[in-house]
């Protein structure tokens, strides 16, 4: 199999992204730059993009172990949302009410920023800002829907940000089964993520930014990256490696890689869409504990993902972990349970990838001015748009621009390290099991399961 063919099998998105996936040139000699970035996912690409916007003369170099968009950025569920992994209440405790609100407003603006840039740069990422509908399909889910809206109201987020839906209004958006109501927010776009990330990489190359592919970085040190092809010397070096971070020396416990898995259906007939709806392509889920997420694609399929795959000892990340047949089967069952018109639908693609979870579930971005080392990550499963805010923030921190976004509460935040093994393995996997168990208990008894709250405390929120 050629390299291009290999990369095509990574996900439905890689299979359908236009252009060649043949790796570009690798680094083969020592070099110098102003900013050197490890990882050509969206964190690295957006950082390079905004640095280039700020000063086209800056020499920006990216070193990527595989190809641009190889990681989570090319394989995700395509929710370009305003979600941030730390809740408003948590950010309030961390940094105060005004800062918490500012963070959430910045995330909302970020969704539009991604839409604006992709339109301006001619990146056709199948952008559809149809919002998100969260279906409530049991009394406990309805209870959580009401709590979510009440929490948002406490911080001044009104009907235009988030609103409770009656069963009838929820059904107008999507014809899920057992509907009791739901929640709708307009702050989300459904996109084709590989088109976004590969498109951005092409824009950067067109502006002279070097993206070295098949160039693993072995060590990040102040002022330099040690790579397989040579040393890159730079005043600023940026770690943009998310779920792959624990493989870097000195960063073993910075995040845990937890796998999220996804399936794509065959294109569905009009008769099925007549029942499923989702006409404006809102992204969707229901309010169970274990995260699920779906979107109607531009070519008329459902792409549907969820967590539930095991965490691997020592924060290991391997291609074989991307595929767990039992989880794919469970996702298919859940999707058909949500939309029973799907009946015996064929699944054409199934894949997965690692997300990065910080010990306190709070994403962060920062630049250590003494070492020149910067980072961004810990987005949990909400990085598709957050990487854009991270890129803008890193560019401002590097160029010294005095901007509002550099004062947001996640800037400079340091999450604690995860526990050493075997505690980490035990804690994360027990946590994942408890979430599944809580959902089963709720659907059996119809009552909220207290184990989920216990879980939250256990793996730390
Ligand atoms: C299955 C799945 C579904 C998801 N769904 C959504 C969603 O719908 N919405 C949402 O907001 N978020 C979602 N996420 C999360 C989101 O995709 C990520 O948070 C985001 O893409 C992270 O971007 P990144 O650039 O930081 O990391 P990545 O995209 O993972 O990029 C990191 C890059 O660094 C490279 N790299 C790592 N180590 C090295 C090294 N030593 N040397 C050189 N290169 C290296 C990797 O090869 C990789 O290309 C999902 C994630 C997954 C896996």
Residue 137 has pLDDT above 70, yes or no: yes
Nearest CA to ligand 1 atom 2: 76
Q: How far is the centre of ligand 1, averaged over its atoms, from the C-alpha of 23 (Å)?
A: 18
Q: Classify the C-alpha dihedral 384-389-392-395 as positive or negative.
A: negative
Best mutation site among 217, 242, 254, 362 for ligand 1 pocket (most ligand atoms within 8 Å of CB): 242
Distance CA 331, CA 245 (A): 27
Q: How far is the centre of ligand 1, averaged over its atoms, from the C-alpha of 4 (Å)?
A: 19
Residue 456 has pLDDT above 60, yes or no: no
- Please check whether residue 23 is in contact with residue 16, taking contact to mean a CB–CB distance below 8 angstroms: no
Closest CA to 407 of 106, 116, 35, 117: 106
Q: Classify the C-alpha dihedral 203-283-131-298 as positive or negative.
A: positive
419-436: pLDDT as tens digits: 999 988 888 888 777 776
pTM strictly above 0.75:
yes
The pLDDT of residue 71 is 98
- Residues β-bridged to residue 79: 190
Residue 461 has pLDDT above 50, yes or no: no
Which residues line the pocket of ligand 1, CB cutoff 6 A? Answer: 38-44, 63-66, 70-73, 75-79, 81, 216-217, 240-244, 248, 260, 262, 293, 305, 352-355, 377, 379, 381-385, 387
* Average pLDDT score over residue span 147-160: 97
- Residues β-bridged to residue 189: 80
Q: Residue 327 class from Cβ within 10 Å (0-12 exposed, 13-18 middle, 19+ buried)?
A: buried
pLDDT top residue among 443 and 387: 387
The pLDDT of residue 75 is 98
360-385: pLDDT as tens digits: 999 999 999 999 999 999 999 999 99
Distance CA 254, CA 373 (A): 15
C-beta neighbour count of 339 within 10 angstroms: 24
The pLDDT of residue 250 is 95
45-84: pLDDT as tens digits: 999 999 999 999 999 999 999 999 999 999 999 999 999 9
Q: How far is the centre of ligand 1, averaged over its atoms, from the C-alpha of 305 (Å)?
A: 15
Residue percentage of the chain with pLDDT more than 70: 94
User: What's the gap between Cα 116 and its chain centre?
Assistant: 19
Mean confidence (pLDDT) of the chain: 94
The pLDDT of residue 457 is 44
């Amino acid at each position: 199999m050629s390299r291009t063919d290999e990369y095509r099998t990574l996900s439905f998105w890689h299979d359908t992204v236009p252009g060649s996936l043949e790796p570009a040139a690798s680094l083969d000699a020592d070099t110098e730059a102003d900013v050197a970035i490890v990882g050509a996912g969206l964190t690295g690409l957006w950082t390079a993009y905004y640095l280039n916007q700020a000063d086209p003369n800056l020499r920006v170099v990216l070193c990527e172990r595989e190809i641009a968009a190889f990681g989570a950025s090319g394989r995700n569920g395509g929710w370009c949302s305003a979600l941030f992994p730390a809740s408003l209440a948590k950010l309030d405790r961390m940094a105060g009410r005004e800062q918490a609100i500012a963070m959430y407003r910045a995330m909302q603006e970020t969704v539009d920023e991604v839409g604006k840039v992709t339109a301006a740069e001619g990146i056709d990422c199948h952008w559809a800002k149809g919002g998100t509908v969260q279906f409530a399909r049991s009394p406990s889910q309805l209870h959580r829907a009401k709590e979510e809206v009440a929490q948002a109201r406490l911080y001044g987020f009104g009907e235009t940000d988030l609103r409770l839906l009656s069963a009838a209004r929820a059904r107008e958006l999507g014809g899920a089964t057992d509907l009791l109501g739901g929640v709708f927010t307009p702050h989300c776009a459904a996109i084709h993520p590989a088109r976004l990330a590969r498109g951005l990489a092409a824009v950067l190359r067109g502006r002279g930014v070097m993206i070295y592919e098949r160039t693993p970085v072995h060590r990040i040190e102040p002022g330099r990256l040690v790579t397989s092809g040579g040393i890159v010397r730079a005043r600023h070096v940026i770690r943009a490696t998310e779920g792959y971070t624990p493989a870097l020396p000195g960063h073993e416990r910075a995040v845990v890689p937890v796998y999220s898995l996804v399936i794509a259906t065959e294109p569905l007939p009009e008769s099925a869409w007549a029942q499923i709806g989702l006409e404006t392509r809102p992204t969707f889920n229901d309010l169970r504990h274990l995260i699920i997420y779906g979107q109607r694609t531009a070519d008329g399929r459902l792409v549907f993902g969820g967590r539930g795959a095991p965490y691997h000892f020592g924060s290991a990340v391997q291609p074989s972990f991307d595929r767990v047949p039992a989880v794919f089967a469970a996702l298919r069952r859940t999707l058909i349970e949500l939309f029973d018109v799907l009946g015996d639908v064929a699944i054409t693609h199934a894949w997965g990838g690692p997300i990065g979870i910080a010990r306190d579930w709070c994403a962060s971005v920062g630049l250590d001015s003494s070492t020149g080392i910067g980072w961004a990550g810990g987005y949990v499963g909400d990085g598709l748009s957050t990487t854009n805010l991270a890129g803008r923030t890193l560019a401002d921190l590097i160029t010294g621009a005095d901007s509002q976004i550099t004062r947001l509460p996640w800037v400079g935040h340091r999450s604690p390290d995860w526990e050493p093994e075997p505690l980490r393995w035990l804690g994360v996997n027990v946590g994942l099991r408890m979430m599944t168990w809580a959902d089963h208990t709720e659907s059996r008894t119809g009552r909220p399961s207290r184990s989920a709250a216990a879980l939250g405390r256990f793996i730390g929120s």
